[in-house]
Structure 1
Amino acid sequence: MISSTRNRPWGLVWRSHVWFVTAVVFLGIFTDLFFYTVAIPVVPFRLESLGYKNASALTGWLLFAFSGGLVLSTPPISWFSEKISSRRMPMLIGLLGLIGAQIMFMLAPVYWLMALARVLQGISSTVVWTVGLSLLSDSSPKSKLGQHLGIAMSGISTASVLAPPIGGALYDKLGFHAPFIFSLGVVTLDIAGRMLVIERKDALKWGIDPAAESDPGSATPASTEDKDAATVAEEGGTATSNEFQEKPSEKDATGAIIAHGVSDSLPEDTAEQVRRLSFMEVLGVIFRSKRALAAIFNALLYGISYTAQEPTFPLRLQDAYGQSPLKVGILYIPIVVPTLLSGFISGKISDKTGSGLICTIVFLLAIPWPLIMIIHRNFALIITSAVFAFFFLAGALTPITTELDSVARLNPGIGFTHVYGAFNMAYGLGSAVGPLIGGQLYDHVENGWAAVMGLSSGICLIAALVCFFFTDDPPPVKRIFGL
């Protein structure tokens, strides 16, 4: 039933609009990654000041603690988030947890407490990713989901560009606590965004559907007729035809249908019959879906490939080209900045052609550049190759998440937080083992740099084949060859 206009929230249209939701999710991802990344350049110095040796190895285990917390917390958080009707409340709780973990890490006098803070930060990060991406899928028109996911995902690259130089400069000038205090200031905007955002299930009560293919605030029944259900009843009319087509049922008001992520792809009578699946039933659906398994496997491969280069690329620049840590940090800016656009571009293409083809293409285009980076001749060559390698690899993330959105929409009972939780778990596992694999290869193999780059190219080849044969419906192999 359409709610009375007397209780209509102020700014309903723009606060529920998909672009505002996209901005809120972008800010959430940016804040999460900023909290994580701002400490990386200063933690080794902090450990040394506390009297610890092997600061580099201990820093690596702190990164592993973050990923461990993320991976282990993903199943219960995804399950709980899908059981309740609100997306905004878990996001606010996750943000409070993130703040608490950052303060604990900043004030920790011993290593084990720093590790515990990183675990708690990983748990909070799970909420940001799974619930935030689910909120965006709820509010986005299906035909434009890729570009909105691409914009939201660019929060990763933005934080990667800004956090390390800011963290290093603040540490150098003001001490260890300064980067963390600055990050707590950044979170103010994030809090405001999460407090203001209106979820789709709530906007539907006033006849506003942000996921509609047309402008959600321009032609909805509630806004054009300016009549609520009570007025219709007084006039002796009934809400027939399309007048209140988007009105939520009692189940909608609690989020029981919309939380499935399939209400907009099923007929109304079918959507009413959708029931929540048990945990084992959800796993069964996901493991029986080739598309879901392909996307989850590629998220794992992406995490390994991307993070295996994080600890080794700076060392390569230092060892082979004599670059100082300060210059390495500056060189990362032109390398990472182009990735701000890659997710949006691949998402835009994914909306038009499907996720399978663009996923295959970006992974194929990412293959040659790590191999070129093995060549030790020209410093400009390795930097240029790194720009293209990171650009194309970052472009794979959007079609992977878009594919998981499609899985949720096409499988009644599967919610967005279920599939994004699976993505988060796979990516978290990849980002946990990636730095360890990269570091071990670089340190213990005779030509460690070549081994890391060869591993990255090989992973991209495997991911491209997975996309080509198993992603989208029909997959690219059938669309091209008719197999």
Structure 2
Amino acid sequence: MVSWKRNLWILVVSQFLVISAMTMIIPFLPLYIQELGVTNPNTLSIWAGVIFGANFLTAFLFSPFWGRMADKYGRKMMILRSGFGMALIISLTGFAAGPVTLLLLRLLNGVVSGFIPASIGLISTNTPKERVGYALGLLQSGSVSGAICGPLIGGLLAQSFGFRMVFFITGMCILLATIVVLIFVKEQFTPVQSKEKTSTLQEFKMITSRKPVLSLYVVIFLIQFAVMGVNPLLSLFVEELTSPATVAFYAGVVISVMGFANMLTAPQLGKLSDKKGAQHVLIYSMLGVALFSIPQAFVTDIWQLIILRFIIGLCLGGLLPAVNTLIRMHAPSGMESRTYGFSNSAMYLGTMIGPILGGLIVSSIGIRGLFFACAVVLLVNVMIVKIKVLPTANKVFDQEKLRQKKENVV
């Protein structure tokens, strides 16, 4: 098998294992906090929110630093650093003595995290440019399928073996995936030597001076902001549409169908990005998510919501892979991982802020109003892509296609 294809399939499977492992803890995290001695319902909800978000806070802060290290030492090295680090820290989480210990371990886990961003960086830089869209789409399928299976597996394991054992199993899964990468993934990496020492701020200015990188960071932030603004609050809407006895089941179905649809279309839309341009796939996919978000505000039956979430999932498959493809196209040579590092920070920021503002919107205008708000955010995002990204991306895409034609003739 060609080297880039072998790397791709190994990392698809590894990402499935890592994401499955990391999402195993989601269904019972509040229950685990309760087991650690937090019994007051009001205090429990605060601790659960803080502990869940802690991981994203430190990941947001440290992502640019790890991007710099990846450009210096290689993306595979960053995958191994993150994998072994998370395997150790998540295993230690099973020994947490109280909520403060758990919080500190979640903060530390965010510091060493980066398995997924480093994998994206490795695939995007070691895959032929004409196949990057397909590769990143397939890579996302591995992540999404892991996110679908993880909570289900975690719930079953917690019920069978207890909460603490799940953390040990999670650590073993991440360790296994990391060892597979260590042995089988081969990276073609040549570090770019820089005589001048630059600060993170200087690197950010250097990277964003290349159009339309800064606009792409705004786009990825708004995508995560809109998507994550809705997802954690969907169970409240499901509660309106079903009986109390079936809320948990249908809440799981609503989230799972969107992930399943995302998994189906991500590779196909990635292929389309390689043929027609990631900028066009991004625009139409985002337009689809925005337009199909609006009818959700009017649903009167749970099956209507499930169908709409499935359609939205089909469109979501074209968002993040397309943005990552465009970032790869416009990243300065030798600074690809740093460029992804800043984009990951933008993504983590959207993941943190989205649920917070989503909750405020729901408290003000209700869950149905939230769908309109997210649709507006995504429509604004479409305009940003059309005005700020499309002209430059079209030019670069046409130049790349012309280069490929010349190489084929030769």
TM-score range normalised by the length of the shorter chain: 0.7 to 0.9
Report the equivalent of 2:272: 349
Report the equivalent of 1:61: 50
From 420, 445, 450, give the equivalent of 2:368: 450
Alignment pair present for 1:34 and 2:55: no
Report the equivalent of 1:256: 191
Report the equivalent of 1:380: 303
Change (3 A) 1:63 1:28: farther
Alignment pair present for 1:46 and 2:32: yes
Task: Normalising by structure 2, report the TM-score.
Answer: 0.88
Structure 2: give runs of 5+ residues left out of the alignment. 398-410
Report the equivalent of 2:124: 137
Structure whose residues are more often helix by fraction = 2
From 141, 150, 156, give the equivalent of 1:169: 156
Q: How far apart are residue 138 of structure 1 and its match?
A: 2.3
Alignment pair present for 1:407 and 2:330: yes
Report the equivalent of 1:246: none
> In structure 2, what is the Cα distance between the partners aligned to 1:189 and 1:468?
39
Q: How far apart are residue 340 of structure 1 and its match?
A: 0.5
Report the equivalent of 1:282: 203
| AA aligned opposite 2:229 | A
From 382, 385, 396, give the equivalent of 2:319: 396
| AA aligned opposite 1:63 | F
State which drifts further: 117-126 or 26-35.
Answer: 26-35
Secondary structure (helix, strand or coil) at the match of 1:311 reads helix
* Number of corresponding residues: 390
Q: How far apart are residue 429 of structure 1 and its match?
A: 0.5
> In structure 2, what is the Cα distance between the partners aligned to 1:189 and 1:70?
20
Q: How far apart are residue 148 of structure 1 and its match?
A: 0.2
| AA aligned opposite 1:145 | V
Report the equivalent of 1:263: none
Report the equivalent of 2:389: 471
Q: How far apart are residue 276 of structure 1 and its match?
A: 7.2
Paired residues of 1:24 and 1:194 also in contact (CA < 8 A): no
Report the equivalent of 2:69: 80
Alignment pair present for 1:424 and 2:344: yes
Q: How far apart are residue 310 of structure 1 and its match?
A: 2.1
> In structure 1, what is the Cα distance between the partners aligned to 2:316 and 2:264?
12
Paired residues of 2:226 and 2:374 also in contact (CA < 8 A): yes
Secondary structure (helix, strand or coil) at the match of 1:61 reads helix
Q: How far apart are residue 331 of structure 1 and its match?
A: 4.3
Secondary structure (helix, strand or coil) at the match of 1:425 reads helix
Deviations 1:316-366 (A, max 9, x none): 112332233244224433332111022212211111111211111101111
Report the equivalent of 1:102: 90
Change (3 A) 1:115 1:469: same
Change (3 A) 1:371 1:478: farther
| AA aligned opposite 2:61 | L
Paired residues of 2:25 and 2:154 also in contact (CA < 8 A): yes
Structure 1: give runs of 5+ residues left out of the alignment. 1-13, 202-254, 260-273
> In structure 2, what is the Cα distance between the partners aligned to 1:425 and 1:67?
9
| AA aligned opposite 2:191 | A
Report the equivalent of 2:134: 147
> In structure 2, what is the Cα distance between the partners aligned to 1:156 and 1:294?
25
Secondary structure (helix, strand or coil) at the match of 1:290 reads coil
Q: How far apart are residue 475 of structure 1 and its match?
A: 4.8
Change (3 A) 1:276 1:337: farther
Q: How far apart are residue 472 of structure 1 and its match?
A: 4.5
Q: How far apart are residue 150 of structure 1 and its match?
A: 0.7
Alignment pair present for 1:338 and 2:297: no
Alignment pair present for 1:301 and 2:217: no
> In structure 2, what is the Cα distance between the partners aligned to 1:427 and 1:396?
12
Q: Percent identity?
A: 20
RMSD of aligned residue pairs (Cα, Å) = 2.4
Secondary structure (helix, strand or coil) at the match of 1:398 reads helix
| AA aligned opposite 2:276 | T
Secondary structure (helix, strand or coil) at the match of 1:200 reads coil
From 25, 41, 46, give the equivalent of 2:11: 25
Deviations 1:338-395 (A, max 9, x none): 1102221221111111121111110111112221111142221111111112331342
Paired residues of 1:44 and 1:59 also in contact (CA < 8 A): yes
> In structure 1, what is the Cα distance between the partners aligned to 2:242 and 2:45?
21
> In structure 2, what is the Cα distance between the partners aligned to 1:297 and 1:35?
30
Q: How far apart are residue 473 of structure 1 and its match?
A: 4.8
Deviations 1:146-182 (A, max 9, x none): 0001111223311221011111111122211233233
Secondary structure (helix, strand or coil) at the match of 1:350 reads helix
Secondary structure (helix, strand or coil) at the match of 2:237 reads helix
Report the equivalent of 1:359: 282
Report the equivalent of 1:441: 361
| AA aligned opposite 1:288 | S
Q: How far apart are residue 28 of structure 1 and its match?
A: 4.2
Paired residues of 1:166 and 1:179 also in contact (CA < 8 A): no
Alignment pair present for 1:369 and 2:357: no
Change (3 A) 1:294 1:184: same
Paired residues of 1:146 and 1:351 also in contact (CA < 8 A): yes
Paired residues of 2:137 and 2:270 also in contact (CA < 8 A): yes
Paired residues of 1:97 and 1:120 also in contact (CA < 8 A): no
Indicate the structure (1 or 2) with the bigger Cα radius of gyration: 1
From 147, 163, 167, give the equivalent of 1:160: 147
Secondary structure (helix, strand or coil) at the match of 2:205 reads helix
> In structure 2, what is the Cα distance between the partners aligned to 1:299 and 1:107?
36
Q: How far apart are residue 275 of structure 1 and its match?
A: 7.0
Deviations 1:240-283 (A, max 9, x none): xxxxxxxxxxxxxxx234x9xxxxxxxxxxxxxx8777345432
Paired residues of 1:28 and 1:132 also in contact (CA < 8 A): no
| AA aligned opposite 1:173 | S
Change (3 A) 1:77 1:57: same
Q: How far apart are residue 135 of structure 1 and its match?
A: 1.2
Paired residues of 1:33 and 1:159 also in contact (CA < 8 A): yes
| AA aligned opposite 1:195 | I
Alignment pair present for 1:123 and 2:43: no
